[in-house]
C-alpha cells in the first residue's frame, strides 16, 4: 500500500478540535509533530457545498451556532489557508491527510496537493464523491463505521472497478466508544473478506484499544487528539491527549517490533547458560545410609544443573538402592547406585 513510514501507520486526527481558529490548528500541528506519529488528519468542510440550514445537530453542543450549517461555516478555512496548513505539515515532517465532505472539497484538496484521501463513515455510500476521488487516481482510506457488509461490498466493488488503491478501517461511530463497541473481531473479518490492508479508527480515548488492534495486525491506526479532554467540542471526550499519544506511539512501535521478530519455541540454544544456572539436580534432604532404598520423600532439587542426576529424572531413582552413605543435601549421582545407568 502507499503508507510506509512505519507499520502500523499512525494518523492523529485534529478533526474539529481547532474550533475554527487557524492559530489553534497550527498549535496542534506542532504538538502532534512531537509525538512521533506519521500523519495528521483534517476534515475539509465547505458549508455551502456540503450542508444546508436543514441539517440537524448530531449532538447539540455549540453555544454559538444556531444550526449545524452555521457550525460548518465557522469551522471552515479558505483555500489559501488550507494551502498554508499543508505546507506547515510538510515543514514539520507530517503527512497531510484529509477527509473531504463535498466534491468541491476534493477540487480544493487537489489544488492543495494532498497525496491521500480519507473517506469518513458517512461518505461510504456517497458514490458521487467516491467517483470524484477515484478520478484523481489517489489512494483512499475507507472508514467503515456506519456501514453493513452489504454496503461495504458495494463500495469495495465500486472502488475495485475503478482500480482505486484503498484500505479499510474498522471503526465504530460512537463518541467515546466503550469496550463493548470496539469491534476488534471485525479486523480479521475485513482482512479475510476484502484482501486489502486493514486498519483501526478509534474513538475510545484509551490507548489500550489501539495497542490491541496493533497486536491483531492492523496496518493503520487513526485516533483523535486534543490538548485536553475538558476542552469544548464534539470530539474532545473521544480523543487522546498529547502525552497519551506519545505513550501510544512507544507502545505500538514496541509491539510492531515484537510482531516482526517471531520466536522459535523449538530453539532454546540461547538459554543454554541460563539453564545451567536456573535448572536443578537431585539431592537428598536427609542423611541416608548405604543400602537405603530411595523414596520420593528423600529427594530435593537444588541448583545448579549438572551436579548429578537432573531433577526431571527423579522417577528413575525412586526404588534404587544406595551403594554408599550420603549426608543431608548431597547431590545424587549415577555412581551412587550399583547399576551404571539408571535406565537399565
Instruction: Determine the pLDDT at residue 58.
Output: 63
Three-class SS state of 240: strand
When mean pLDDT is compared over 50-54, 263-267, 327-331, 334-338, the highest value belongs to 327-331
Q: The pTM is what?
A: 0.85
Instruction: Go through the domains of the chain in sequence order and give each one's CATH number.
Output: 9-259 (3.20.20.70), 269-336 (3.90.1210.10)
pLDDT band at 94, cuts 50/70/90? very high
Average pLDDT over residues 1-11: 77
Q: How crowded is residue 114: how many other Cβ atoms within 10 Å of its Cβ?
A: 22
Instruction: Determine the pLDDT at residue 340.
Output: 43
Average pLDDT over residues 27-56: 91
Q: To the nearest whole percent, how much of the chain has pLDDT over 90?
A: 72
- Checking if the pLDDT of 298 tops 50, the result is yes
Average pLDDT over residues 132-148: 94
Q: Beta strand pairing status for 220-224 and 281-284?
A: unpaired
Amino acid at each position: 500500500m502507499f503508507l510506509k513510514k512505519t507499520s502500523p501507520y499512525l494518523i492523529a486526527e485534529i478533526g474539529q478540535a481547532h474550533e475554527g481558529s487557524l492559530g489553534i490548528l497550527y498549535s496542534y500541528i506542532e504538538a502532534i509533530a512531537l509525538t512521533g506519529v506519521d500523519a495528521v488528519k483534517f476534515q475539509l468542510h465547505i458549508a455551502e457545498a456540503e450542508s444546508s440550514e436543514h441539517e440537524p445537530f448530531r449532538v447539540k453542543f455549540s453555544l454559538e451556532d444556531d444550526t449545524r450549517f452555521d457550525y460548518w461555516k465557522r469551522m471552515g478555512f479558505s483555500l489559501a489557508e488550507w494551502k498554508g496548513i499543508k505546507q506547515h505539515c510538510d515543514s514539520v515532517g507530517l503527512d497531510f491527510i484529509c477527509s473531504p465532505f463535498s466534491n468541491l472539497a476534493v477540487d480544493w484538496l487537489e489544488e492543495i496537493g494532498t497525496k491521500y484521501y480519507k473517506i469518513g463513515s458517512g461518505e461510504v455510500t456517497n458514490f458521487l464523491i467516491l467517483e470524484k476521488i477515484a478520478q484523481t487516481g489517489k489512494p483512499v482510506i475507507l472508514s467503515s463505521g456506519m456501514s453493513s457488509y452489504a454496503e461495504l461490498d458495494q463500495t469495495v466493488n465500486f472502488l475495485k472497478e475503478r482500480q482505486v488503491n484503498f484500505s479499510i478501517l474498522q471503526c465504530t461511530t460512537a463518541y467515546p466508544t466503550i469496550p463493548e463497541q470496539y469491534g476488534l473481531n471485525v479486523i480479521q473479518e475485513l482482512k479475510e473478506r476484502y484482501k486489502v490492508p486493514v486498519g483501526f479508527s478509534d474513538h475510545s480515548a484509551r490507548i489500550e484499544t489501539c495497542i490491541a488492534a496493533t497486536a491483531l495486525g492492523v496496518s493503520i491506526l487513526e485516533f483523535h487528539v486534543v490538548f485536553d479532554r475538558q476542552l469544548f467540542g464534539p470530539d474532545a471526550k473521544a480523543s487522546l491527549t498529547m502525552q497519551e499519544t506519545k505513550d501510544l506511539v512507544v507502545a505500538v512501535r514496541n509491539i510492531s517490533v515484537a510482531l516482526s521478530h517471531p520466536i522459535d519455541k523449538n530453539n532454546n540454544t540461547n538459554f543454554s547458560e541460563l539453564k545451567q544456572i536456573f535448572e536443578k539436580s537431585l539431592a537428598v534432604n536427609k542423611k541416608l545410609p548405604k543400602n537405603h532404598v530411595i523414596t520420593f520423600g528423600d529427594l530435593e532439587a537444588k541448583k545448579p544443573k549438572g551436579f548429578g542426576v537432573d531433577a526431571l529424572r527423579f522417577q528413575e531413582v525412586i526404588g534404587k538402592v544406595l551403594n554408599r552413605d550420603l549426608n543431608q543435601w548431597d547431590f545424587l549421582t549415577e555412581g551412587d547406585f550399583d547399576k551404571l545407568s539408571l535406565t537399565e
